[in-house]
Amino acid sequence: MKATTHSLRRRLIALALAAATGAAFAATPDANKPDVVASHVDATVNPGDDFFDFANGAWLKSHPIPAEESAWGIGQVVQDDLYAKLRKISEAAAAQPHAAVGSDEQKVGDFWSTGMDEALANRLGVNPLKDELARIDATKDLNSVLDEAFALQPLGVDAFFDFAVAQDEKASDVMAVHLAQGGLGLPDRDYYFNNEQGVAKARTAYVEHLHRMFKLLGADDAAAKTSADQVMAFETALAKVSRPLADLRDPLKNYNKMAPDQLRTKYTPAIAWPARLQAWKLNSPTVIVGQPEFFGGLQALLAKTPLPILRDYLRVHLADAYASYLSADFDNEHFDFYGRTLSGQAQQKPRWKRVLRAENEALGMILGRIYVKDYFSDRSKQRYNAMVEAVRTAYSERIDKLDWMSAATKAKAQAKLAAVTRKVGYPDKWKDYSALSIGRESYAQNMMNAQRWAFNDMVSKFGKPVDRAEWEMTPQTYNAYYNPSNNEIVLPAAQFLIPGYDDNEIDDAVVYGYVAASTIGHEITHGFDDQGRQFDAKGNLADWWTKQDATKFQQRAGVMVKQFNAFEPLPGLHINGEASLGENIADFGGLMIGLDAFKKTEQYQKGEKVAGYTPLQRFFLGYALGWLSQEREERLREALLSDVHAPAKWRVNGPLSNIPDFYDAFGVKPGQPMWRPENQRVKIW
């Protein structure tokens, strides 16, 4: 996946000859615009010293991070462009005086109008949460606390643990119940223990945030402080029994199928799982438990924690989940910690952008249907469908040439590659939102309705055939993903955008770096990274490698782990090479096969310079363009501890330092920071 997505829901050959070899696409650059990549180059930096700064430095120097942002780069500029288009759609819907109740226009219009009504939110205060808060206050024993914890799950509040209905990793045609560790207020379990100065400061700030939240919920200062300290102690104990980020990446170790009653008797006697699941109409004979020892630890905590602390934990998690949709005091307090302290934002984004972010979450596919009709052409879809096949063919040829993989494993790798499904632009079938009710009662109520609808939609899939046509991202999302259970790559329309340029203005060299390498090749390679390689062509968790080939792969992957562990973006905080291994393999593999595909294009074969750069140089500059970004120290710290993606600079410099074609393109010499001796380079795909 190109950017961060961290929920349990997420964890969980050739067409025509012209397409397979890279269909010709004639770009017609606008002479009145600066060149799409040359204009970003900082010529004061030697590309062999720091290619990221060379390729992107001029743009980054002239575009400081705005006060409302924690990072600034191509992703945020694309998002601003998308926001402007979605705002037009939303305002047009809100302006319709007689939209039929239940229509897309009514839902979009009412959501937008209510979200933008800050005065209404301020009048209501915490009132939209009063029913849930009253139920929490009424809990009288552990069982009633658990009643409320399970009632909060459909509202998107992962109290105590995380839950999903998703494909069974070992039987991809079956929808299964998944349970996993969760329930923390900080971004990751290591935030509770790492002693780096910035992390320790964030930990202290989190307790202060909890203190202020309890005061907003009505407690006096002394009681609020006590509650904050006690909730922090509870979460720290919960974090202690949680697995570290890197350990969550082993699909076999995080797949533990058992009967619900077995989970109860062996790990959590306090939770009657069969009855709890049946209340959600999930009469499942088995559950897939990600981290059984976590649930054993949760049981011990529930048994010894006083009832008032459990109530406080539920209260503050509910309030934080909906603070952004409540009155300004809750909204500002939530931002002060999660935006300002954790991410380094100096100020909130304007309200209209925050409402659009929520609207995308609540009504994403409704907006997407309108968006692609207005902004994504058939010509663009054809271009990127053809590019997928060009990349697939290049990967197939590269597999054939591998000197470390046996013929038996190659044959199965080829079968899996041929079976990869591509989804480009937007779904063929749009999601049905008819059961979702959106009104003008309150912003928070609309978000609760949307969360409950999404939960019910997810649970309704249990016992039904897997819908392999479904998308997990909206077309207006600047991101992409590989789903191992479906063996598919999903490429939303917005992922192909380069701000300020129409698709037909960008030459193949740049597009093959920006899209074929960093997105298409990246996502296909996820099917063969340290996690994805454990799934077969049908999307089942199954070992299709010879023992010798698996060992060779792990040895080669170990070289990449060592490289990234050595990078130290902040003093005392290194990149986690184990946790980021899958993304780093995908970056490297995407570059290699994207480059192979580009070498078959007419532009590469002609070799003519554009804006002073050869086609090969423009390919690498196009790749760097995809990671054009800078971030605040707070955001960088959070990512280093909780994200499986390396920071942007190292997603460029890291993989490129292993590629001989890059050395040739920019004259990189021994002794320069970007140079690695051949025996220290990664050689996987």
Quickly list DSSP for 554-620: HHHHHHHHHHHHT--SBTTB---TTTTHHHHHHHHHHHHHHHHHHTTSHHHHH---BTTB-HHHHHH
Structural domains of the chain, count: 2
How many CA atoms within 13 Å lie on the side-chain side of 126? 19
Same domain? For 676 and 596 the reply is: yes
Choose among 176, 191, 192: nearest CA to 290.
176
Same domain assignment for residues 70 and 153: no
Q: Which of 512, 519, 498, 522 is nearest to 617 (CA)?
A: 512
Looking at the DSSP bridge assignments, the partners of residue 488 are: 421, 483
The domain spanning residue 632 has which CATH number? 3.40.390.10
Residues 58 and 149 occupy one common structural domain: no
Q: Are residues 264 and 409 in the same domain?
A: no
Q: Mean pLDDT of residues grouped by 10 in the chain (685 residues)?
A: 43 32 54 92 98 98 97 96 96 93 96 98 98 98 98 97 98 98 97 96 98 98 98 98 97 98 98 97 97 98 98 98 98 98 97 98 96 90 95 98 97 98 96 96 98 98 96 97 97 94 93 97 97 97 97 97 98 97 97 98 97 98 98 97 97 98 98 97 94
307, 326, 344 — which closes off a domain?
Answer: 307
First to last CA, the chain: 18
Query: How much is the pLDDT for 503?
Result: 87
Together in a domain, 279 and 152: yes
Among residues 284, 307, 330, the one where a domain terminates is: 307
Query: Are both 72 and 147 inside the same structural domain?
Result: no
Which domain range does residue 399 map to? 8-23+37-76+384-429+470-680
Look at residue 16 and tell me if it is in a domain: yes
Q: Is residue 618 part of a domain?
A: yes
578 occurs within a structural domain: yes
In order of 164, 408, 458, 482, 675, the CA distances from 539 in angstroms are 18, 19, 20, 11, 38
Specify whether 512 is located in the same domain as 647: yes
Which pTM was predicted? Answer: 0.93
Helix (H, G, I), strand (E, B) or coil at 335: helix
Q: Alpha-carbon distance 373 to 371, whole Å? A: 5
Q: What is the pLDDT of residue 685?
A: 87
Helix (H) or strand (E) holding 179: strand 171-181
Please tell me whether residues 549 and 408 are part of one structural domain: yes
Q: Give domain status of residue 133, yes or no.
A: no
Please count the other Cβ atoms lying within 10 Å of the Cβ belonging to residue 204.
12
Asked if residue 228 lies in contact with residue 214, where contact means CB atoms within 8 angstroms, the answer is yes
Which residue in 595, 587, 586 sits closest to 529, CA to CA? 586
Orientation of helix 51-62 relative to helix 615-625, angle to 10°: 60
278 in any annotated domain: yes
Asked if residue 505 and residue 639 are part of one domain, the reply reads yes
Q: Does 376 reside within a domain?
A: no
Tell me what pLDDT residue 25 has: 53
Is 196 in the same domain as 49?
A: no
- With a CB cutoff of 8 Å and minimum separation 6, the contacts of 72 are 63, 64, 65, 66, 629, 630, 631
Which domain CATH number covers 158?
Answer: 1.10.1380.10
328, part of any domain: no
CA-based nearest residue to 215, from 200, 225, 205: 225
Let me know if residue 544 belongs to a domain.
Answer: yes
Same domain flag for 71 and 159: no
Domain boundary among 276, 307, 338: 307
Same domain assignment for residues 41 and 154: no
